[in-house]
Amino acid sequence: MHDEAMSDELLELASEVAFERLADAGGDPRDLQDPLRTIAIVYAAQGVIDNGGLRYLFEADWPGQPPYSLLSDAYRNIGAAREAQAIDAATALFDFADPQTDSDRRCELLAGPVGERIEALDGEFSDDIWRLLSTYAHAHARVFEDLRA
CA distance 78 to 72: 10
Cβ neighbors of 41 (< 8 A, separation 6 or more) are: 29, 70, 71, 74
Percent helix / strand / coil, the chain, rounded to 5: 75, 0, 25
- Judge whether residue 17 has pLDDT over 70: yes
CA distance 137 to 139: 5
DSSP readout, 19-50? HHHHHHTTT-GGGS-TTHHHHHHHHHHHHHHH
Average model confidence (pLDDT) across the chain: 93
Mean pLDDT of 13-37: 96
Greater pLDDT, 84 or 8: 84
Q: How confident is the model at residue 1 (pLDDT cuts 50, 70, 90)?
A: very low
pLDDT the model gives residue 6 = 44
CA distance 61 to 51: 16
Greater pLDDT, 31 or 2: 31
Mean pLDDT of 34-49: 97
CA distance 123 to 83: 9
| pLDDT tens column, 114-130 | 999 999 999 999 999 99
CA distance 6 to 86: 24
Q: Specify the length of the chain in residues.
A: 149
CA distance 46 to 132: 12
pLDDT the model gives residue 2 = 47
Percent share of the chain, pLDDT over 90: 88
Mean pLDDT of 21-44: 96
- Judge whether residue 145 has pLDDT over 90: no
pTM for this structure?
0.92
